[in-house]
Structure 1
């Protein structure tokens, strides 16, 4: 037996993520699965390896009886785990994970069962007599089990990646790809990982000890625990993906990690004159929800275009237009390691009505951020679950947590009542009508008259389109969107107060004649020969899955088979909705209670109808201009010899400078720099919501509470969609989309039975669409749940029980 001495001192970790292994240490060599465990077993103090027996195929054939006796004597009274330990497993070129047989729970008292298990393992090999069989006692009583890699598998960046199951007692759910598993990432430089989850500290200490003994930081380790401090190691092998890592990405992420905590700390603690609140939080799903609209790691062009059109100024102009307070002009979106986040404090300040008073405003912003920090899974629902953005029917409950609500909050309530009354004004003097008038020109082909054609693409044309989109598109659309949120607040609170039932609220939403329903009808008309395909494309061809992504072709550039259904049913226009006498009286009473009379229930429903349909129509219109901007950029890039993929790595400003300041060599350098930045964004783990600088040390999955839509439970096959690929037939299937925007409206005529999205909020585009079409949905379910569904063959959505579950493992 190999005997080595090894110091048991703690493992120092350098800021670049490399382990300081010390000097004068003997490096333990990795061997087969069994050999590695045998060599490590006497050297580990922070974890343990179960007793083991291993032997070669030739040794088994030479003396099967002796080996069976040895196994029974070594593990008397135990159930056994009999596993492969082949020469071609666990190498630097390939792990061969799961390629060979494993038998668990083999009774030690049953010689025939042991023999059968060993023979099954040997039969799974290719016949090399040096291949081994590993026998250990079956581990019982697991409280958590999983896999740790000491580097990110895809990029090799310096993070421990822990995938674990703490919901069952299975030790194989992670490796088998089944069960309710979670993933977290820990930067290698973090000396103290804390106690969330409680097992993490002991596990990382155990892993660091193994790294030190082996003098390696490229390991894949299977583990289980039967208590918060008791780690059992099942397997240690090399990461077989190392050959695909890029040293430049590892270096860039390592350097960026040094400054990441201080950068985020500065963003969170920054104080701005005229902005209430002593601290902020960052969220990729709050307010204008960049994760839903752009994806978790969008490219520079998409980010900069979204910033120019919305978060740089249009969002703020729209809030003032509706009646919210004036604020210092600020960009709502900040970029952290190439990823877009919303400044939550700015967002919450923008929801304060004019005349609210400084004391109440400061108190409320502090309270709202504190509330969000204790329920971070609501960060995509701040307008409904955190802030109070209009005087809906539940406002008293929302302010009940403030002891000073009877004093300085009175001014805030009066200001919010005044804002709400102005918002409900549907006359020509109101902001709703003004926004409708402002965006209406985009409904006509003449909106682009006077501009040179797309084929004569130039920076001047792009700039002109950007200005048109801001003035006639995103700014009035942002007003319409705010009205739709106010309308949704009233509908929700009316339901909470019992004035209208959830079923009747859904019936109202289904009565809305929206763009999506018109598109579904027109699809049927094309299918039945009543509408020319060219006419359909002329109207809807600008829509693209992922509105701001130049690499996602619009419908006009796709084959009709990708978006036109092969069969569809024309359900006609939706049935009109009429309030019952009881509903009308209840809503009118609530309006009077809020001091919003003389408006009646019918006027409130008319406002909601107009706001919600106006928002969807406005989105449809302004995305015409967004599409024209992207296609013009594509033409300009082609003239410069660049592809769409290449140009997606440039910012809008860099593209505007192409005509006069950028030669081919400079363009190539800019594209390469953009690619590198995007690679860093993809490789750097970040949480979806950030409340403290230390949140980037241990990064949990973006857990979210889904918004469930519908009432009927549905189950079926899962079809995963992406902006670039069509899954074929989705009729009768549950569609899974990471981020769903208007470009995916084409799915509804194809007859899906359900929808699951990773990103999206309660009032998101797809939430509204699913209600309109009577589709069961789980909107914004987060990374963990979405990954489970996307990897499954079948799933079930139950809005009634608020559950989303895979039915099998894919």
Structure 2
């Protein structure tokens, strides 16, 4: 017989003699009315529970419906003693927190020795994707998951049709949920549970069950067929096999390493954004230019794999691409396996591989850092050969006359003329899109990939001067603040915006978007008011400062450069740092102008074919580019619409899919625990402020929550915000750097689970010094 959902208390009451896979604690149900009329009878009922401590919870009729849960709206009090006065006081407090004196008050014994306590959903609570979603901790708290106070939450996702389990506790919880689904004939459940001791016996307890709120949510319950995951499983297994010119015994895949798709295009990008990113950078360009800069030749290998729509970096391939081409093959293989093993054992490093795992260039602290390899099975000779190969590669990069990055910066200067030539041509829209992207690759992303590598080497060398105590952090920051970067110029121009200079500003910066590859994200010049409010902007002084190195320091650095075998003098060294760091931003800024214009023209092409941009976002860029050299019998509009329809269906699958940030085992495709995430805290400040989302109109004085650390979010710095938090992004991401420059408290890359919680909070404390975020 199917059970009907009632109140929290009555749901537990009817389960007491029916639920077999878990236990429901004995309970008493009362109300303020009953307590008023029959105080002694209520106390006698509670006495029969035979407990020294109680938990007293609300059970209002306005809670736990499919339309509105009101979860946490009313009072619950734990650890109440059986003292009459304390008990009556607690009962009245809980009763008075609810709207009606007839609302139920639920009393149960307090569990002892709580081993695990948490919440489980029978589907994803936001889109009903077919996963059992478990969240719990092992601190002994009975509320840390529900109130968000847990510092070590364990999160587990299990595809509903997958029958294998590695953890006995997870299996017990899911067995209980399945039984509850049958009893209530409902597969959209929210269940609170605990593994604890009662009357000397340790077992699983069902603490609450209610239906999930369903209104105004997308329903993806049937969007993820098992066959798709099985095909993915087979593909993952096949990708473990060796590929031409690739060293390393296993393949790992991550959403953050190297070119960092999660930050740049998002974890679940639509087809156009993903295909654009692959087309202009990660399919070919990345490997071509890395090889030019002295690393292994990995051309023909795409860096990013789209796993059912989620972009993953081939980490083994990435590690290969950081090996100097002249390093002995045996040492190279040993090194790559060391990198892979280290990441496999330390998943939290997946967004910091170039800082904490890989040796990709030589810096002033490299000899010291390489000594750690002695504990990892490397001998002195192998380490010396690695050191010399990194030194030779780095010398080639930083050469003051022959450095490739200088040629790449020069090459990128052709972008402006290419842009003007295409704009003024009589080309068709399709032809213009084709040539914008071709020129973007040739004179934009190709040189950018090189200058970005030089920029990383520059920052690595600058940071190492702090590590060896040549510079203080303040001196390093003073040097960075002396640079004339595009970001700094943009910030200055934004802070000086007024009606008189608005047009001039848009001529220079109007092509920027908050989502660089996203057709649905408007350019600055397409929706100025969404980004800027110029009413209160005033002319501000440029924050650029001079950096002067005294003669004594110059001489000391000259000695250090010579001792390390770096073939440049002090002046040339600082010239390299300046040119590489400034050049990286400038080339990126310049190539995004062509990219942004091509995206606008794709929107225009959609209008020509009467297809709105929301649909064009699901089109693969290759379908447009193919029209440049191929004429088909089918009208392009029909061809586009067929593809869009198919990709929209696939995107539903992508939205439903859950995968870990680092994929290292095939069975994670069906079930996994979320990887621990170590966010990057900027500054040492502490702030307490209300929260806002990026699209909110009132941002002043608030902590802003944004998904990515994308450069297009620079406009936030003009809103007088208190700070910000990003879901994705690493220590070297754009917004991390900008926050550091501006001494603005920020937390970069908190991860999906934590970010979802912060979105719910109306106020947060960010304590950067203790690296803590507190929901208020």
Mark yes or no: TM-score above 0.5.
Answer: yes
Q: Which residue of 2 aligns with 1:627?
A: 596
**Correspondence 1:467-616 to 2 at 5 A:** 467-527=438-498, 532-560=501-529, 562-565=531-534, 566-568=536-538, 570-580=540-550, 583-597=553-567, 599-616=568-585
Say which is worse superposed, 96-105 or 347-356, in terms of deviation: 96-105
Cα offset for 1:688?
0.9
Q: Which residue of 1 aligns with 2:190?
A: 220
Is the Cα contact below 8 Å between 2:58 and 2:105 reproduced in 1? Answer: yes
Q: Which residue of 2 aligns with 1:437?
A: 410
Alpha-carbon distance in structure 2 between the residues aligned to 1:343 and 1:229: 44
Cα offset for 1:452?
5.2
Q: Which residue of 1 aligns with 2:209?
A: 236
Q: How many residues align?
A: 764
**Correspondence 1:73-84 to 2 at 5 A:** 73-75=48-50, 77-84=52-59
Render the CA deviation track for 1:98-130: whole Å, top value 9, x for unaligned: 455545444433268537725853883557x6x
**Correspondence 1:687-766 to 2 at 5 A:** 687-701=660-674, 703-710=676-683, 712-722=684-694, 725-730=695-700, 732-766=701-735
Cα offset for 1:293?
0.3
Cα offset for 1:628?
0.5
Q: Which residue of 2 aligns with 1:324?
A: 295
Alpha-carbon distance in structure 1 between the residues aligned to 2:725 and 2:586: 23
Normalised by the size of structure 1, how large is the TM-score?
Answer: 0.87
SS in 2 for 1:649: coil
Alpha-carbon distance in structure 1 between the residues aligned to 2:538 and 2:43: 65
Render the CA deviation track for 1:201-245: whole Å, top value 9, x for unaligned: 443344345446556533221112337973221112233328956
Q: Which residue of 2 aligns with 1:110?
A: 84
**Correspondence 1:111-190 to 2 at 5 A:** 113-114=87-88, 117=91, 121=95, 124-125=98-99, 132-167=104-139, 169-176=140-147, 179-180=150-151, 181=153, 183-190=155-162
Alpha-carbon distance in structure 2 between the residues aligned to 1:348 and 1:116: 60
Say which is worse superposed, 490-499 or 650-659, in terms of deviation: 650-659
Alpha-carbon distance in structure 2 between the residues aligned to 1:640 and 1:588: 63
Q: Which residue of 2 aligns with 1:683?
A: 656
Q: Which residue of 2 aligns with 1:21?
A: none
Q: Which residue of 1 aligns with 2:606?
A: 637
Is the Cα contact below 8 Å between 1:567 and 1:750 reproduced in 2? Answer: no
Is the Cα contact below 8 Å between 2:91 and 2:105 reproduced in 1? Answer: no
Render the CA deviation track for 1:620-671: whole Å, top value 9, x for unaligned: 1111011111000000001111111110011102234578544555433322
Normalised by the size of structure 2, how large is the TM-score?
Answer: 0.90
SS in 2 for 1:556: coil
SS in 1 for 2:17: helix
**Correspondence 1:24-103 to 2 at 5 A:** 30-44=5-19, 46-54=21-29, 63-75=38-50, 77-84=52-59, 86=61, 89-103=63-77
SS in 2 for 1:81: strand
SS in 2 for 1:422: helix
Say which is worse superposed, 371-380 or 559-568, in terms of deviation: 559-568
SS in 2 for 1:505: helix
Is there any run of 5+ residues in structure 2 with no aligned partner, and where? none
SS in 2 for 1:450: helix
Mapped pair 1:413 → 2:387: yes
Say which is worse superposed, 379-388 or 69-78, in terms of deviation: 69-78
Say if 1:334 and 1:123 are closer, same or farther in 2 by CA, change over 3 A. closer
Say which is worse superposed, 366-375 or 104-113, in terms of deviation: 104-113
The Cα RMSD (Å) is: 3.1
Alpha-carbon distance in structure 2 between the residues aligned to 1:779 and 1:264: 30
Cα offset for 1:39?
3.1
Is the Cα contact below 8 Å between 2:80 and 2:90 reproduced in 1? Answer: no
Say if 1:77 and 1:349 are closer, same or farther in 2 by CA, change over 3 A. closer
Say if 1:184 and 1:580 are closer, same or farther in 2 by CA, change over 3 A. farther
Cα offset for 1:713?
0.9
Is the Cα contact below 8 Å between 2:79 and 2:110 reproduced in 1? Answer: yes
Match of 2:435 among 461, 464, 472: 464
Alpha-carbon distance in structure 1 between the residues aligned to 2:287 and 2:231: 30
Say if 1:80 and 1:320 are closer, same or farther in 2 by CA, change over 3 A. closer
Is the Cα contact below 8 Å between 1:80 and 1:107 reproduced in 2? Answer: no
Say which is worse superposed, 402-411 or 768-777, in terms of deviation: 402-411
Cα offset for 1:310?
0.3
Q: Which residue of 2 aligns with 1:804?
A: 772
Is there any run of 5+ residues in structure 1 with no aligned partner, and where? 1-25
SS in 2 for 1:745: helix
Alpha-carbon distance in structure 2 between the residues aligned to 1:33 and 1:796: 33
Cα offset for 1:322?
1.4
